[in-house]
């Protein structure tokens, strides 16, 4: 077992010292994943990469009765899921009527015409991803690792213990399936 896996399991068991030693080992990679994920979010997003990393880390390491980490990939897959949940919760909170509902923040400039920015609908993607997980959990996990954790196809294939070629086929299928689901096409 690697030092990281040992520290993950010790922190999971409640060892505060292990949790303190763990953060410097995983912080850089978690920060990179968070920055990449937030770069894809619409402008005006108030959540910063550091805040996303800290929230995900707290959810993963300091929650009582968590799971045991088999290896580094398992931890980062769980981190991707935690970041996904945080972003979804944040999107739902912002979509609430008391937070402006469907209104969109725009910066007005006197010499430029306002034009809507292309933006992905994170809530629609989340719903579609949940439906894909019901139909095919492996493909849904691949999407989470690639999209939310920022893993390469080879890294995601390694975490899921499938060949890179199989991962490539699953990735192509899942992207097409999700695009159709988000755009409102029939999935039957």
Task: Give the domain extent around 57.
Answer: 3-98
With CA atoms as reference, report the closest residue to 164 among 177, 176, 151, 175: 151
Q: How many Cβ atoms from other residues are within 10 Å of residue 115's Cβ?
A: 7
The beta-strand segments (E) located in 25-67 are none
Residues 15 and 94 grouped into a single domain: yes
Domain-located, residue 171: yes
Domain-located, residue 38: yes
Domain-located, residue 110: no
Domain boundary among 98, 133, 155: 98
Residues 49 and 11 grouped into a single domain: yes
Number of domains in the chain: 2
pTM to 2 decimals?
A: 0.54
Please list, in sequence order, all residues whose beta carbon lies within 8 angstroms of the beta carbon of residue 92, skipping any fewer than 6 positions away.
123
pLDDT in tens for each of the 188 residues of the chain? 577 778 777 777 777 787 778 778 788 888 887 887 777 776 666 778 888 888 887 887 766 555 666 667 777 788 888 888 888 888 787 776 555 555 566 665 544 444 434 345 778 888 899 999 999 999 999 998 888 888 889 989 998 999 999 999 999 999 999 999 988 755 54
Domain-located, residue 76: yes
Residues 94 and 137 grouped into a single domain: no
């Amino acid at each position: 077992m690697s030092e990281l896996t040992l520290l993950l399991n010790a922190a999971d068991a409640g060892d505060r010292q292990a949790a303190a030693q763990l953060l410097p080992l995983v912080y850089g990679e978690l920060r990179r994943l968070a920055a990449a994920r937030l770069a894809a979010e619409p402008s005006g997003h108030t959540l910063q990469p550091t805040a996303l990393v800290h929230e995900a880390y707290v959810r993963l390491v300091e929650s009582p009765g968590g799971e045991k980490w088999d290896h580094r990939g398992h931890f980062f897959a769980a981190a991707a899921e935690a970041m996904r949940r945080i972003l979804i919760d944040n999107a739902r909170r912002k979509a609430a009527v008391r937070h402006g509902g469907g209104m969109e923040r725009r910066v007005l400039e006197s010499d430029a015409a306002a034009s809507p920015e292309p933006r992905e609908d994170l809530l629609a993607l989340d719903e579609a991803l949940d439906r894909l997980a019901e139909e095919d959990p492996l493909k849904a996990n691949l999407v989470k690792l690639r999209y939310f954790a920022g893993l390469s196809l080879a890294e995601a294939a390694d975490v899921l213990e499938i060949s890179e070629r199989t991962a490539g086929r699953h990735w192509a299928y899942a992207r097409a399936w999700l695009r159709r689901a988000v755009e409102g096409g029939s999935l039957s």
